Structure 1
Amino acid sequence: MSAPAQRAAVAAGAPYVERQEEVLTDAALAFVAELHRRFTPRRDELLARRAERRAEIARSGRLDFLPETAPLREDPLWHVAPAPAALEDRRVEITGPADDRKMTVNALNSGARVWLADFEDASSPTWENVVRGQLNMADAFRRRIDFTAPGGRTYALRPAEELATVVMRPRGWHLDERHLTVDGRPVPGALTDFGLYFFHNAQRLLDLGKGPYFYLPKTESHLEARLWNEVFVFAQDHLGIPHGTVRATVLIETITAAFEMEEILYELRDHASGLNAGRWDYLFSLIKNFRDGGERFVLPDRNAVTMTAPFMRAYTELLVRTCHKRGAHAIGGMAAFIPSRRDPEVNEVALGKVRADKDREAADGFDGSWVAHPDLVPVARACFDAVLGDRPHQKHRLREDVRVTADQLIAVDSLEAKPTAAGLRNAVQVGLRYIEAWLRGMGAVAIFNLMEDAATAEISRSQLWQWVNAGVVLDDGEKVTAALVREVAAEELAAARTETGAWQQAHDLLLKVALDEDYAEFLTLPGYDLLG
């Protein structure tokens, strides 16, 4: 008697999205189901391990490099695979959600070398956004994404050689896709996004002279990188794609991953292309992991924590040294400023800060960096051109002068800035405004001339939680309490209600994740239940 056939993934309870049948083919859903059955159990184990590690940090109040992997770190001989031609020069990368058709065309046309096509923090994970993002990617690779917007303006792709190389970012391991199930259980969002994208586009990208390239978010350990590597090996083998075709850049945006950079590159060495230094998620992770550490780990206003802070420089310089030691690209952080066409004075000050930031990254040895807006591409490019010249990168700069200790990576108490009343209000304002937009399906949101994504809301609500629980006293002498946060939130809600939106829902979610005694690991977990 033959074995029963394995059932494919099922789109369950999802609203119909126009053209979704092009994405949710029987073969694609069967592939996603196979990914789910093979890898979700290990994903679950690793999420449980995150909780165990967090508990250990709470007990010890510290982190250190792993003693069991010291021989790997000390071995000078291993390197990651050489970068493919399409990822050799990454001096400017632009980020943005893949679910917006206009942004897709503009990002590809921006003049940046790479477009981070985002299914994660810059995309609210509504079912419509998930499907539209996949459709936009396939349409772009087939050059079928030209369109005319209401009002008559047309958007069309430039010649292929002028387009940015796409590096797609799936969701992190923690978030499920409730609308896609296998045997009655939701498929992890990471496997949903990766599986559908890889199935439909891997061979097409090879035919275009590129490949399926990925940014991996929210990684917390080398074991999670190992799981991704196993996914890549299986996917390539299953679909007949040559081994090593996949390339992955890992965002070092958690404090635990900062202690395992070499191990992460090693696990992905056949598929690794670099590491990225992400600012807001990194600070969010630091607060989350050391939230029981008292005053020693209290961060000041988020905008006061620059990349020149000692513990942030330790992190970025270690990243550059690690990448170049192993032959990988080191990619710098985000320039989130949104240029204003109405206020040249604001632009002048902000662009000066962007230039200083990108000059610093290029001088430190980074091979490229992120921007959030097409107008910033030439600004960042000029900074890296000045250092790189005609070279595609500066991996020859091994930064052997860099020596970073475990204590330096967590030396938050070296900061002179302190929390302020203005900073508390800004955290409420930005958190409220971002969450409201996210609940309406917008993941990339311009707030106070900055392009914000989910990491923004995470750092904002985490700082509120930390300041309340640490009993922080602000610069005006007032102690931060739950009552004070509620008072400020009520004022901001009243002000925001002059605009149409899901303000009450956003207010309630912000206060829940900022003030609940049990800290929510990610605000998108309770937030996901509120999405349509």
Structure 2
Amino acid sequence: MIYKKPDYSLSQISVTDSPLHLGEAFEKLFTKNALDFVAQLIITFEDRIDQLHWGRLKRKVDIHLNGTLPHFSDRTPSWKIATLPGRLQNRRIDLGDVSPANTTHLTKALNANVQGVQVDFDDGHCPTWNNQIVGLYNVYQAVRGELYNVPKLDKLPILMFRPRAWNMTDHNVTIRGKKAPAPLVDFGLLMYHNAKIVYEHNCGPYFYLSKVENSVEAKLWNDIFVWSQRRLNLPYGTIKACVLIENILSAFEMDEILYELRDHSLGLNCGIWDYAASIICKLGHNPKFLLPDRNKYVNVDKHFLKQYMLLVIKTCHARGAPATCGMSALLNENSTVVEQVKLAKKKEIEMGADGFLVYDDTLVPYLNELWNKCCKHPNQTNKQIDVNISESDLLEIPSGGVTLTGLKHNVEVAILFIYNWLIGNGHFIYKGCVEDSATAEISRLQVWQWITHQVLIQDTVQIVDKAFIEQLTTDFLKNQNNNLMEQAANLFVEIVTMRYAPDYITTYLNDHIIFQQLHSKSALKAKL
């Protein structure tokens, strides 16, 4: 493949400067050569990124106007993904939602007895400019053995970089006058500063790719990998990536997604709350896809989610790829929680999963013990899943209604997520669980769908409507004495009462003037 060097100059790149106390990190990250690499990367692929967004819109219009439902395509002939490096043969436990901007949390995670750490610039992270610089610099230091109280690279769990997804724009970086695609800013800087070092230590560069909707988007990422490897003089196939199947559309193209990334694939991952939320986002205008109270009626034992997880495992194992399951969000508060987590993860192991994520590192010893009891090998990729899964299996919505308790919980989680986002946190702890954008998505989309379809709350005569949601938010705010929390509640009501729900809550908040104003006060514009 031959690449034509883009016609551009550094004067066309504008980057928001950092506050003075982050000046050293800023200078090390945003060097002339690093910006050169990021600029060429974005300019090379910006037309295809535009096509990606128009393609998503076209698909959405087709679903809404024509009632078109996703469907399977014919599988390609027999093939396998490229052989994985030794350290990727064991993918049992990753720590998830590890925002690299939270230095204490990152340091703790890098000292844990796990196979990998999800260095998360996406679901568990809020991309303020300060957070981006701190996060990128913490990775820069960790890779070089310069992060305080963190072992050398050879002794670390694998750093699994998770850049922001295609739905996000970086408001602090512009190329040729246009704001930059956030995933390529993250990916480009992570690659430029760290790829050669982790490659020389046989531990990367490896990635999680989130919110991929189809195989065309997977091919775009594959081509980005090929371009980047050539630019950095890394061997073809060095980059490995695990795609999160967290979208109902991608669930019908798992095999094709693996195929497009076959030389760079690290398998697929399940994420049930994002996945369930995407059903509402894509199909929820149709009452046939009305999802009941998630806390009472939606779990991995329900047919549509169990079949989805089995299909991920089946598809991966047929192609020699690892299949990993989602993150346990529970905190280790007592022995009952430990047993609850172990029981849930044992089910996933018995289904054939090769690994999963967990948030609380104190649960790791119990889960390592569970793995040692349940599986004698580093992975289960040789375990073939003999099930026939139909299109209707993935679209079979569980029965059930809306409970007042479940509605209140969704309202609380969504408001608290918005509040935490506004103050610069991508996740938070609530009622013994970690909550992030995945749970915020399902929470706010369920409320939106219940309002849209005027659902009746079980055992009452109350309809879920705007007035009742406003009453619930008012009740919640009585226990809060915080002006910003009130703003968060107002934003929540605004989002859930829209005629058409925003595709992603993080996009909506990232682009909102309130968020922009809160996090631009200390920023200075600089031409580089």
Q: 494, 516, 519: which one pairs with 2:501?
A: 519
Q: How does 1:438-457 map to 2 (within 5 A)?
A: 438-457=421-440
Matches within 5 A, 1:205-354: 205-302=198-295, 304-340=297-333, 347-354=334-341
Question: Equivalent of 2:13, from 5, 10, 18?
Answer: 10
Q: C-alpha displacement at 1:521, in angstroms?
A: 1.4
Is 1:357 paired with 2:360?
no
What SS does the corresponding residue of 2:416 show, helix, strand or coil? helix
- By how many angstroms is 1:310 displaced? 0.4
In structure 1, stretches of 5+ residues that fail to align are 147-155, 341-346
Q: Which amino acid aligns with 1:447?
A: Y
Find out whether 1:383 has 2:370 as its counterpart: yes
The 10-residue stretch of structure 1 (161-170 or 432-441) with the greater mean CA deviation from structure 2: 161-170
Provide the aligned length of Structure 1 versus Structure 2. Answer: 505
Secondary structure class of the residue paired with 1:260: helix
* Partner of residue 60, structure 2: 54
Amino acid in structure 1 at the alignment position of 2:87: A
1:55 offset after TM fit, Å? 2.2
Equivalent residue, structure 2, for 1:407 = 392
Whole-angstrom distance in 1 between the partners of 2:352 and 2:291: 30
**Paired residue for 1:480?**
464
SS in 2 for 1:495: coil
| Shift in CA distance, 384/513, structure 1 to aligned 2, threshold 3 Å | same
Alignment pair present for 1:41 and 2:47: yes
Alignment deviations for residues 282-341 of structure 1 (CA, whole Å, 9 cap, x no partner):
11101101111115433323453111110000100000000000011100111001223x
Distance of aligned partners of 1:246 and 1:9 in 2 relative to their CA distance in 1, 3 Å threshold: farther
What is the alpha-carbon distance in structure 1 between the residues aligned to residue 12 and residue 138 of structure 2?
22
The answer to whether 1:104 aligns with 2:86 is no
CA offsets 1:102-126 (integer angstroms, 9 cap, x no match): 1111111111111110000100010
What's the CA shift string for 1:336-384, capped at 9, x where partnerless?
01223xxxxxx23322221111000000000011101101212222222
Shift of 1:48: 1.4
Determine the structure 2 residue equivalent to 1:507: 489
Aligned residue for 1:26? 32
Contact 2:268 2:316 (C-alpha < 8 Å) held by counterparts: yes
- Aligned residue number for residue 495 of structure 1: 479
SS of 1:215 mapped into structure 2: strand
How far residue 64 of structure 1 moved from its aligned partner, in angstroms, is 3.6
In the alignment, the residues of structure 2 paired with residue 425 and residue 202 of structure 1 have an alpha-carbon distance, to the nearest angstrom, of 45
Q: Secondary structure at the match of 2:117?
A: strand
- What amino acid does structure 2 have at the position aligned with 1:166? L
Residue 86 of structure 1 deviates from its aligned partner by 1.9
Contact 1:121 1:454 in 2 (8 A): yes
Computed over aligned residues only, the root mean square deviation of the Cα atoms, in angstroms, reads 1.8
* Percent identity of equivalent pairs: 32
Choose which of 187, 197, 200 in structure 1 pairs with 2:190.
Answer: 197
CA 1:131 to 1:425, structure 2 compared with 1: closer, same or farther past 3 Å? same
Displacement of 1:162: 4.3
Shift in Å at residue 525 of structure 1? 2.2
- SS of alignment partner, residue 259 of structure 1: helix
Q: Distance in 1 between matches of 2:44 and 2:287?
A: 41
| Residue type at the aligned position of 1:29 | L
Distance 1:106 1:434 in 2: 23
1:139 aligned to 2:153? no
Q: TM-score, normalised by structure 1?
A: 0.92
Segments of 5+ residues of structure 2 without an aligned counterpart are 1-5, 520-528
Matches of 1:517 and 1:333 in 2, distance apart? 31
Contact 1:114 1:164 in 2 (8 A): yes
Corresponding residue of 2:163? 170
Corresponding residue of 1:153: none
> Is 1:125 matched up with 2:102?
no
AA paired with 1:423? Answer: G
The answer to whether the Cα contact below 8 Å between 2:328 and 2:359 also exists between their aligned partners in 1 is yes
Question: For the structure 1 residues 4 and 122, does the alpha-carbon distance in structure 2 shift closer, same or farther, using more than 3 Å as the test?
Answer: closer
Partner residue of 1:94? 95
User: Which of 409, 415, 432 pairs up with 1:426?
Assistant: 409
Distance in 2 of aligned mates of 1:520 and 1:64: 20
**Does the CA contact (< 8 Å) of 2:284 and 2:449 recur in 1?**
yes
State the Cα distance separating 1:12 from its structure 2 match: 3.6
Going from structure 1 to structure 2, the CA distance change for 1:212 and 1:161 (only over 3 Å counts) comes to closer
2:449 to 466, 488, 491: 466
> How far 1:489 moved relative to its partner?
1.0
Instruction: Work out the CA distance in 1 between the residues paired with 2:12 and 2:445.
Output: 35
For 2:475 and 2:65, how far apart are their aligned partners in 1? 38
Deviation at 1:15, TM superposition (A): 4.0
- For each residue in 1:110-166, what CA deviation from the matched residue of structure 2 results, as whole angstroms up to 9, or x when unmatched? 1111111000010001011111111111111111111xxxxxxxxx12465542111
Query: SS at the partner of 2:10?
Result: coil
Q: Normalization by structure 2: what TM-score?
A: 0.92
Q: Is the 8 A contact 1:304 1:417 kept in 2?
A: yes
Q: Residue 487 of structure 1: SS of its match in structure 2?
A: helix
- Residue 305 of structure 2 aligns to which amino acid in structure 1? M
Distance 1:266 1:90 in 2: 20
Aligned partners of 2:69, 2:313: CA distance in 1, in Å? 21
Question: Contact (CA 8 Å) 1:298, 1:470: kept in 2 or not?
Answer: no
